[in-house]
A and B are shown apart, each in its own frame.
Chain A
Amino acid sequence: MFKTFRCILMRDLTLAMRRRTDVLTTLFFFIIVVSLFPLGVGTEKETLRHIAPGVVWVAALLASMLALERLFASDYLDGTLEQMLLTPQPLSVLVLGKIVAHWLLTGLPLVLIAPLVGLQYHLSGESIGVMMLALLIGTPVLSLIGAIGAALTLGLRGGGVLLSLLILPLYIPVLVYGSGAVAASAVTGSDLQAYFSLLIAFFLLALVFSPWATAAALRISVE
């Protein structure tokens, strides 16, 4: 089972390495959205520090959602997905492999670029650390939940917009506690442990249930 997982993971990573622009597009989308806010809201230091957690998280939500469309689309178009459905290996493991690969390509870059964004918004070093940690735990949840939506909207016209309609409401808890943790460290200075416990709880729950639901959704979509 682990071998299957690794096989899918390596395959998706190799495919992505052959087409690097896809990874960079998501990353630059994130950077551009985050950079637009100071231009719209004003560049006052105090204001920026206050809106930073929310802005970064909303941008991360949008970036990971935009990338979701590609999760199953190309495999669906060239028929690979149908072959995956036919394999004797459990589909949820295959799906998990794809989700992990997807996160490594779209979620992890966001985590790594976060310090740069923190500097733009005048966050302290400590807050930047909190932000990176929160993103590190939170972005996998986004990929996991989003995979269900991506599987449901597979091959539909206007799939991208529809996907956002289905998935964004489900992202709210991650948004609330992810940005809450950053805000707590940057502004109010309250205890952070509860935020991280909740984020980790979401991550574990999503890790258990999402591959299974995504597999069911894929079976519905590809009949």
Chain B
Amino acid sequence: MSINWFKYSAPTTFYPLAGKMVPWFAWLAGLCTLFGLYWGFFETPSILSDQKQYYRIIFIHVPAAWMSMWLYVVMVCWALAGLIFNTRLSYMMASALAPTGAIMTFLALVTGAIWGKTSWGTWWDWDPRMTSELILLFMYVGYMALQSAIDDPRRADRASALLAVVGLVCVPVIFWSVNCPDPNQCAALHQRSSMANVEKNILTAMFTMTFAFWMYCFAIVLMRARNIILARESNTTWVAEMIEAEK
């Protein structure tokens, strides 16, 4: 049996497939959010005193932060696939991922600021993680700005893909540099966080929420990809036929 690996790399075949997948991911995201939030609010022990209930923001904050970083990697993978195989759909996926990634980064920053205000007493501290997240936001914005500034879609795709790849090469260096601005004392500055110390129910809620966010990203990115496909292919026959059939 031979498998046609590239069957769904054509927008024509991908469009209906994405349409079928969206509701599944959306439902999964909704259910997991409900479950995760319920677990986070009612099943986690009140080990912390009443004043510290605000820690529950981590059920939004941590998944958003994880997604913001993960989506950048996924975006670069699509961009690379586009540059290597020269498939239009890869570029479309990459550009569909960028806004969601930026929103997740923004969400992580805002929830982080709220959490910081309640626990450290300040909205913003130049903590390495915050700075990294902020820089990540700049990278997403740069990607989207470059893409929207170029009128020719082919050049826009390829230029922003190259930018995303260059960005990914620079990201570890940037994060490392904000992590230890003084190379002589780097080890002392390094922060450690360990999953092992986190209470089990909190972990359950956090991972469920992460899964929910992940599914939400799938759903929303596929929806946006469908829109991009329609916009770019608006003058092809298959789109015209589809619109005709829906009338």
Contacts and interface: CB of A to CB of B under 8 A. Distances in A.
Given A180-B182, A213-B166, A156 B150 contact: yes
B138 A169 contact: yes
A166 B170 contact: no
Given A195-B183, A220-B155, A173 B162 contact: no
B177 interface: yes
B163 A152 contact: yes
Nearest to A222: B155
A176 B159 CA distance: 28
Contacts of B145: 162, 165-166
A221 B182 contact: no
Nearest to A210: B166
B139 interface: yes
Contacts of B163: 148-149, 152, 166
Contact of B177 (A153, A159, A168, A176): A176
A105 B105 CA distance: 39
A166 B143 CA distance: 7
A42 interface: no
A5 B149 CA distance: 32
A149 B183 CA distance: 28
B141 interface: yes
Interface residues of A, number: 35
B90 to A, nearest CB: 15
Interface of B: 135, 138-139, 141-142, 145-146, 149-150, 154-155, 158-159, 162-163, 166-167, 169-170, 173-174, 176-178, 181-185
- Give 6 closest A-B pairs by Cβ, nearest first: A194-B183, A173-B177, A169-B138, A176-B177, A166-B142, A220-B158
Given A169-B167, A170-B170, A172-B174, 16 more contacts: A145-B170, A148-B162, A148-B163, A156-B150, A159-B149, A162-B145, A162-B146, A172-B177, A173-B174, A177-B181, A177-B183, A220-B155, A220-B159, A221-B155, A221-B159, A223-B154
